[in-house]
A and B are shown apart, each in its own frame.
Chain A
Amino acid sequence: MAGADQRKLSFPFPDTSGSELPSEFARLREEQPVARVVLPTGDEAWLVTRYADVRGVLTNPLFSRAAAEAPGAPRIGHSGPGPHTILGMDPPDHTRLRRLVAQAFTARRVEELRPWIEKIANSLLFAVNVAPRPVDLIATYTLALPLKVIFELLGVDYEDRDKLHAWAEVIFSLNAHSAEAVAKARGDLNEYLRTMIDARRRKPTDDLVSALIAARDEGDKLSEDELVDFVLILLTVGHMSTANNLTSAIFSLLRHPDQLARLYENPELVPDAVEELLRYNPFTLTGTQLRVAVADVEVGGVQVHAGDAVVAALGAANHDPSVFADAGTLDLARDPNPHVAFGYGAHHCLGAQLARAEMQIGISALIRRLPNTLRLAVPEDWLTWRLGLTARSLASLPVVW
């Protein structure tokens, strides 16, 4: 087709129904590691696909998240985290906010939460076990577990989960909803949180929201908008990323029966398996939010100009054969495994240790409580997918055993 070569690549790549990482990532990593792409909004960006370049971009202060939230900046969809959030700022503003809650998410703190997370997982699986089959593991387990965990850490009423999750889906969807629908969902969620924060002010409790309110009211460490948006980000990102990754991980295991069998036989492999499932996850679209260059800067031999947007493709980096031998193979015992599924640098996932614990416990409990005949209830191509801002995710995961 004449002219097709001249056309810039559309990104995310159009093939978004398969169960493999789109092949374009491997081709670009080889041939054009910093490639010009057109985003769904019509804005353009540089797509960075090599591991070393991805880490380089994510630790370089010249690539700014604040600049990417500024009016007029290139955008990937109708929404983003927003300029008042930890994910929409650069150090030192970013760090001021991150410090307020970092202690609640350290490896040490998360260790203490494990027995409690295990209890939640076990009680959910009790219901899964007695439910009529096929069972949708998302509704009953992979979404319910992270929802319960983050709602309780924040002190948000679990009764409101359906409404809150639905708003989050709209806010973090790539292109399924209009700009107006996204703005309305964000407005509704904001109002819900403002009401909740007001109530909590009058009657403080022992949770993260009350701790953030105290940081605002007593320490003047953050503004009211920052407070509301912080809770919004923790609540939404805090359950959606984990739910998507836990679902994708279980789906990948079901697609690799040899690896699933290996796990049933060697449950002590679970921690390594989780790292590998995070690395392997073929459903990562971008992995991170856009960065915008605040000065001219070179990446992988390409001159990026001030104002240009950059996408650091975590999925492509995690499948870079110069770092991961047989990168396309799911090897649950892979070691070392320096994947970047949680990002890298200043914005490296705040919830990474918590997410790791949830995924480890989620998978351990699953193989302990469901028999090894566990399998998909329908052919793979019957499954439906949703496109989010950074990843795509299954709409349901029907299983039988």
Chain B
Amino acid sequence: MTGGWRLELDRAACRNAGVCVGIAGAYFELDADGRSRPRAELVSPDDAVVDAAFACPMEAISVLDTRTGRVVAPGSLHQT
């Protein structure tokens, strides 16, 4: 298993701007109904993922550290 980070995407919030696919196409893809989804849920740490999360206009992407549970990049699913 590739450890490290878990990607979560709030599909209800996604507005299909394709920003994440444009910035980090290795990690995000568009599905048939045009919403984004992570290609894999668990990934090794990579700045491109955090960049994509911070650039998402809907804050739909969350990045969590699987060991510590720390929120690396807070998306709508992880905002207090």
Contacts and interface: CB of A to CB of B under 8 A. Distances in A.
A205 interface: no
B25 A59 contact: yes
Interface of B: 15-19, 21-25, 34, 47-48, 51-52, 54-55, 57-59
Contacts of A99: 51, 54-55
Interface string A371-399: 00000000000000000000000000000
A345 B18 contact: yes
Interface of A: 55, 58-59, 61, 91-92, 94-96, 98-99, 102-103, 105-108, 338, 342, 344-348, 350, 352-353
B16 A58 contact: no
Contacts of B59: 106-108
A59 B16 contact: no
7 contacts: A61-B22, A91-B48, A91-B51, A95-B23, A106-B57, A344-B17, A347-B22
Contact of A59 (B18, B54, B58): B18
A58 B21 CA distance: 10
A91 B18 contact: no
A58 B25 CA distance: 12
The 9 A-B residue pairs with the shortest CB-CB distance in the complex, in nearest-first order:
A345-B22, A346-B22, A95-B51, A348-B17, A344-B18, A345-B18, A99-B54, A348-B19, A346-B23
A36 B52 CA distance: 34
B75 to A, nearest CB: 11
Given A61-B25, A95-B52, 13 more contacts: A58-B18, A91-B48, A94-B23, A95-B51, A98-B51, A102-B55, A338-B16, A338-B34, A344-B18, A345-B19, A346-B22, A348-B17, A348-B19
Contact of B18 (A55, A103, A105, A107): A55
A257 B61 CA distance: 42
Contact of A352 (B21, B25, B51, B57): B57
Residue of B16, B17, B22, B51 with most partner-chain A CB within 10 A? B22
Nearest to A323: B34
Nearest to B58: A107
Contact of A91 (B16, B23, B58): B23
A61 to B, nearest CB: 7
Contacts of A108: 59
Contacts of A91: 22-24, 48, 51
Residue of B16, B34, B47, B55 with most partner-chain A CB within 10 A? B55
Contacts of A98: 51, 55
Nearest to A345: B22
A344 B30 CA distance: 12
Contacts of B51: 91-92, 95-96, 98-99
Given A91-B23, A95-B23, A353 B57 contact: yes
Contacts of B48: 91-92, 95
Nearest to A99: B54
Contact of A348 (B22, B25, B54): B22
B54 A344 contact: no
B28 to A, nearest CB: 10
Contact of B58 (A94, A106, A345, A347): A106
B65 to A, nearest CB: 19
A92 B55 contact: no
A342 B18 CA distance: 11
Contacts of B52: 95
A274 to B, nearest CB: 14
B34 to A, nearest CB: 6
A102 B54 contact: yes
B72 to A, nearest CB: 13
